[in-house]
Copies of this chain bind each other. A is one copy, B any other.
Amino acid sequence: MRDVLTEWRPVVDDAIETLLPRDIDEAYLVEWFGPASHRYDPDAIQRALSDPIWDLLDRGGKRWRAVVCLLLLDGFGADPRAYLPYACIPEVLHNGTIIVDDVEDGAEIRRGEPALHHRFGPDIALNAGNAMYFLPLKVIGKNPADLDPETQLATYEMLMDELNRTHLGQGMDIYWHRNRDATVAEAEYLEMCACKTGCLGRIVARLAAIITDQPPEVEREVAAYAEDMSIAFQIGDDILDVESTIEGTTEFGKAFGNDIREGKRTLMVIHALSAADPVAADRLSSILHKPENTREEITEAIGILQSTDSIEYARECALSFSQSAREHLRDVPLDEERADQLASFTEFVIERDV
């Protein structure tokens, strides 16, 4: 799996560079955005968009969303290189949401360096993040794979569906961790993941299906694969946040006890709040909703999660979504080698930060 990612990453980055070059000039702006009415300032656009966006992209990320899209395309029997700009769409969208989420969450660190709004200021960061919501969508109109109008239209509609639901998911997540009184059921947490994280995954899969003209049931199944894998990934990500705090490792690239500081309602928290005795549950809730936490409080909160076996519960849940994701691939007509790789991805995503 790692080999596939390593092989494709530079190819994906080259493709992203055609959407947004590292060096912005007048010719690119005219070609990509149309002629100016008066006069563009390429230097300003360089510093307001290209510099911060590449600063983030160059920090890492395995580009797995693009790679899964390419593997699906290949698995469907298409030449993935012919569709490279499309595979960049979810990747650029994803990195855009990272910038915006970090502003929303007041995050300090991203991929081991200062969050983009700390390095470039919140205004530059936010505008760059939001630009990434629209920049890659220009690919559809540019139409490098010469898709017919019905397919272009289906692509836009799919993107509008999923990008809308992304904001529902983010809204639920934010509202919950700002409001101590909000009660969150497990099904609501899973919906939040399905929307917030899953929709980007669904874009990956539906894009590959739509642009190669797969039948609706194939699009549905690969979307379900990607959604369930994304839920597994999100739960895995939450577990990793807690475990890296327990182990005192910093490589994960986030602050100590990040999710607890933020008061996030993770699956572990939801489980612990209902499984712990009332006193411990109340204490956990208190710690989550304090504006600031000491290291002792974070350790105490994690102790409560451990006492209710909530980390283990979440891990089993992630594994079950990972298995469900694989099952959705079962009836999809895919090249066997690619099907195996796509199946093995469902394990990969819950094992490490990608």
Contact = CB atoms under 8 A, between A and B. Distances in A.
Given A141-B157, A141-B160, A149-B150, A124 B174 contact: yes
B167 A130 contact: yes
Given A45-B172, A153-B153, A160-B140, A38 B188 contact: yes
A10 interface: no
Total identical chains: 2
Nearest to A130: B167
Contacts of A192: 41
A interface SS class: helix
A254 interface: no
B100 A130 contact: yes
B165 A33 contact: yes
Q: Give the most central of A156, A185, A187, A191: most B CB within 10 Å.
A: A156
A175 B122 CA distance: 12
Contacts of A187: 38-39
A15 interface: no
B188 A124 contact: no
Nearest to A160: B137
Contacts of A100: 126, 130
A172 B46 CA distance: 9
B40 A167 contact: no
Interface residues of A, number: 68
Contact of A191 (B37, B176, B227): B37
Contacts of A128: 171
B194 A37 contact: yes
A127 B171 contact: yes
A210 interface: no
A167 B126 contact: no
Contact of A152 (B33, B153, B191): B153
A164 B31 CA distance: 13
20 contacts: A33-B164, A34-B165, A36-B194, A37-B227, A38-B187, A38-B194, A39-B187, A41-B172, A41-B176, A41-B184, A43-B182, A44-B176, A48-B172, A49-B168, A105-B123, A124-B174, A131-B168, A135-B164, A137-B160, A153-B156
Given A41-B191, A141-B156, 17 more contacts: A33-B165, A39-B185, A40-B172, A41-B172, A44-B171, A45-B172, A48-B171, A49-B171, A105-B123, A133-B133, A134-B163, A137-B160, A138-B160, A138-B164, A140-B156, A141-B161, A153-B156
Interface of A: 29, 33-34, 36-41, 43-45, 47-49, 100, 103-106, 121-124, 126-128, 130-131, 133-135, 137-138, 140-141, 149-150, 152-153, 156-157, 160-161, 163-165, 167-168, 170-172, 174-176, 178-179, 182, 184-185, 187-188, 190-192, 194, 198, 227
